[in-house]
Structures are given as structure tokens and as C-alpha cells.
Amino acid sequence: MLALAYDRSAFYRRTFDAAGFHPRDLHSLGDIERLPMIDKQTVLDNLSDMCTRSTNGKDVDFGSTGGTSGKPLHFYLDAGRSYIEYAYLTSTWERAGYRLGMPMAVLRGRIVRSDRNGFLHEYDPILRHHYYSNFHLNDENMERYLGHLRGIGPCMFHAYPSSAHAFAKFILANDASGPGNVRGVLLESENVYADQLADIEKAFGARVLAAYGHSEKTILAAQCEYSRNYHVWPTYGYFELVDSGGKSIREAEQEGEIVGTGFINTVVPFIRYRTGDYATYVGEHCEACGREHTIIRDVKGRWPQGGLIAADGSVVSMTTLNVHDDTFRSIREYQFHQSTPGKAVLCVIPTTSLDEDEQRRIIANMNKRLQGQVVLDLEIRTELLKTARGKQPRVIQKGARETGPAQ
């Protein structure tokens, strides 16, 4: 990939030369650290110079990352990459029980048209994918989705974590027995919180597997069959984790930014690309499964997330707000809306109804947890905010810095 970039891309020829680096100088993996890192802004500023060939051909696709208020990133990639990617995805999904040809129920931001009976479902007979609309997750629709899902035989459930969680809460609230035919649940494209995992596992009674990837296709990682840690696919891209000063992290328990050098995209090489995503380094060898792949945990995507901003400007992370006690026993879903540091609104969808005592109890519990750093008000909603791609961030910051979500 370095040789291709050096030979064919004006941008990389320039930056390699400036760094005094030639691809034949790469003798060990560490040598790549002699090259500068790039980021989203680099691609925004230099896209045409970064290309290794004409982008007019049929062998080139246009790619982009989403973004609610952030600037979307546009780039090009090989039209032929899809089957390579599909191979990575299916072998990742196999860790959760997927087999090629198995039907898949999908709740992932697709615009699904309703049939003549108002049922929001579409079917792709080649992939055997059943698409349901995650923009319309009300009780009536979820009941229909569930009824239909029960009839499609042994299958996988592929969803955004927020959508799978809404569905799980519906199952738990209405029907103690899950669909029964779901062999595994696949979660991608949003942060996954511990309380969501617990509810999803309970509702579906199936293995839940989270994976990390992004539209720029530099890094793909997925959870181990035996632990909550993620293994980075070493043949998909070269993985680095760097601290705030850009130095490589090799010590366990250190958190850093994910930097990727992708092997999939030969039209616009992404070399030492700062993804804006974060993870904690674990090691290189997994005792549980025996893989000699880089292991990371607590993957935090750049998609709208962050935390709540306290009056003093510090950030209260969502991890500290993971609620494992009975505070949310009568809440189906929740989302924080913040426009002023030190204050936020906790928007909730109740399971049935919330009387005033219950509302006071929830707010008192949460404010105690926040220790005065952020003072909450409660608002009852029937719907929470989603991005254009159907993702449902846990925190909505109005007027705050935000970059686009992956995939």
C-alpha cells in the first residue's frame, strides 16, 4: 500500500519525500512511524491529489461518512471491494453463530417502505435480509416486527445498538420470552453500553457480538467469542493506537486514538489515518481463543457520543452514567439533551406511564449520581432524536462540537 501510494499519488509522493521516507525503507512495522499521520481535514484538503488513479472509471465508487452537524467526508474506493468486505463481515458474524445463507433480521437505518397493510418490511431474497424500519420503533410496529421475525426460522439479528436495545426493552416489557429463533445479535456503528448489552442478551437469549468499523475502511475489529474484548483483523488494515501527543501506545490499560492504514481501498489510500475513534489497549495475545491479534476494549466511536458537560467544562462520560440499579425500571429508552454546560434534560420514553412520584425518584437518583456537576430535568417523550442514518445517540449536544458517525 505504501509503494502504491508513493508511485501513484502526488500527495503521498510529496509527504513521503518530505519525511525522507521511501517504501523500500520499511523493514519492520515500527518504521511506519516515520511517516506523518493524516486526518479527516487532510482528506478534505487533498482528496484529488491523494487518488492513485482516475476516479471516472466504473471500477471506482464514491464513498462518504455521515454526519449530523459535522462536515461529511467524501472519498473514493474500489468498486470491487464489496466481496472482500463481505468475507470479513461474514467470518466476523460466524463468531456469533452466523452461517452463510442464514436469514438476517436487520434494524439499521434503512429507509423501508410499508407494504399495503402498513407493515414496514422489505426482503432481499439474495442476501436473505429482512429489513424493518428502525425509524418507527413504536409498540405497534415492534409487535408486528416481532411476530414476523418469529416466522423466519433460525436467523441473526443485525442492528444498531440503540435500535436493538429499544426492541429488547419492548420484548422485556411485553413478553418475557424472546423470539426464540435468533441465534445471535450483531451490533455495529454506535457505542455499545453495558446496560444495553445486558438487556439485549436477556431479551433475545442469544449471543451478542459487537464489531467496530468505519466507512474509510482502515480498521475492522470484533469481539472475541469468549470475552468482551475486540480483536483487530490484521489483514484488513494496520492498526495503531496513539496518545494525545501522537506517540504509539504499547502498554495495557492505556487509552488512545485509533490510527489506521487500510489495505482495502486502493483508490484513495488512507495511510496512518487518525480515525477520531478511541479504544483501550489490552495486548497482542488472547488467552481465551488463542488469536495472536491486537486486542482492544472500550471502543468509543466518533459518532455523536461524548458525555455531559459540567458547569466547570469537564466531561461526565456516559460510562459513569451507566445505570445498573433500578433507577430506569419504568423507562424504555432515554437520551440526554444538553445546550448549556451544567444543565441537561433527560428525555425518556416510559414503559407504561410515569406518575409524579416515579418521575421525582428518577431525577433524584440521577442527580445524586451526577453529584451536582450536571443538574437534570425530566421530559417525557414518545420518540427520541435519531440521526439521518437512523442512529440514536445517547447524548445530544446542541451547538457543541461533533463529528460525523461512521458507516
Nearer to Zn ion, 43 or 224 (CB): 224
What's the min distance (Å) between Cβ of 95 and Zn ion?
A: 9
Cβ neighbours for 325, distance < 8 A, ≥ 6 positions apart: 365
Strand partners, 160: none
Choices 74-82, 146-154, 260-268, 282-290 (CB under 5 A): range interacting with Zn ion = 282-290
Place of cell 463529528: 403
Choices 185-193, 218-226, 273-281, 371-379 (CB under 5 A): range interacting with Zn ion = 218-226
Choices 104-112, 264-272, 281-289, 373-381 (CB under 5 A): range interacting with Zn ion = 281-289
- How far apart CA 303 and CA 387 sit, in angstroms, is 10
What's the min distance (Å) between Cβ of 228 and Zn ion?
A: 10
- Report the relative pairing of strands 129-132 and 60-64 from DSSP bridges: unpaired
CA 341 to chain centre: 26
What's the min distance (Å) between Cβ of 227 and Zn ion?
A: 6
Nearer to Zn ion, 112 or 224 (CB): 224
Q: What is the dihedral of CA 167, 169, 172, 173, to 10 degrees?
A: -110
- Please give the residues from 188 up to 207 whose contact with Zn ion meets the rule CB under 5 A: none
**Which of 97, 127, 126, 132 lies closest to 113, judged by CA?**
132
Nearer to Zn ion, 145 or 230 (CB): 230
Return contacts of 238-244, CB within 8 angstroms, 24+ apart.
Answer: 238/29, 238/32, 238/263, 239/294, 240/32, 240/33, 240/272, 241/279, 241/281, 241/296, 242/37, 242/274
Q: Which residues of 70-87 are buried (b: 16+ CB within 10 A; e: fewer)?
A: beebebbbbeebeeeeee
Nearer to Zn ion, 197 or 224 (CB): 224
Nearer to Zn ion, 159 or 286 (CB): 286
Asked whether position 286 contacts Zn ion by CB under 5 A, the answer is yes
Nearer to Zn ion, 220 or 316 (CB): 220
Choices 47-55, 139-147, 203-211, 288-296 (CB under 5 A): range interacting with Zn ion = 288-296
Nearer to Zn ion, 123 or 226 (CB): 226
Size of the site for Zn ion (CB under 5 A): 4
What's the min distance (Å) between Cβ of 140 and Zn ion?
A: 41
Q: How far is CA 289 from CA 137, 213, 229, 253, 299, in A?
A: 37, 21, 11, 20, 20
Asked whether position 288 contacts Zn ion by CB under 5 A, the answer is yes
Choices 89-97, 125-133, 222-230, 379-387 (CB under 5 A): range interacting with Zn ion = 222-230
Choices 94-102, 104-112, 148-156, 219-227 (CB under 5 A): range interacting with Zn ion = 219-227
Answer whether 345's CB lies under 8 Å from 376's CB.
yes
What's the min distance (Å) between Cβ of 297 and Zn ion?
A: 11
DSSP of 178-247, one letter per residue?
Answer: --S-EEEEEE-SS---HHHHHHHHHHH-SEEEEEE--TT-S--EEE-SSSS-EEE-TTTEEEEEE-TTSP
**Which of 165, 69, 73 lies closest to 406, judged by CA?**
73
- How far apart CA 232 and CA 222 sit, in angstroms, is 7
What's the min distance (Å) between Cβ of 225 and Zn ion?
A: 7
Which of 105, 137, 192, 224 touches Zn ion by CB under 5 A? 224
Asked whether position 289 contacts Zn ion by CB under 5 A, the answer is yes
What's the min distance (Å) between Cβ of 66 and Zn ion?
A: 30
What's the min distance (Å) between Cβ of 165 and Zn ion?
A: 25
> Which three-class secondary structure state does DSSP give residue 103?
coil
Nearer to Zn ion, 146 or 224 (CB): 224
Place of cell 428502525: 134
What's the min distance (Å) between Cβ of 323 and Zn ion?
A: 29
Nearer to Zn ion, 59 or 287 (CB): 287
Choices 36-44, 287-295, 314-322, 365-373 (CB under 5 A): range interacting with Zn ion = 287-295
- How far apart CA 149 and CA 154 sit, in angstroms, is 10
- How far apart CA 227 and CA 209 sit, in angstroms, is 10
- Please give the residues from 10 up to 39 whose contact with Zn ion meets the rule CB under 5 A: none
Nearer to Zn ion, 227 or 317 (CB): 227
Q: Which residues bind Zn ion (CB under 5 A)?
A: 224, 286, 288-289
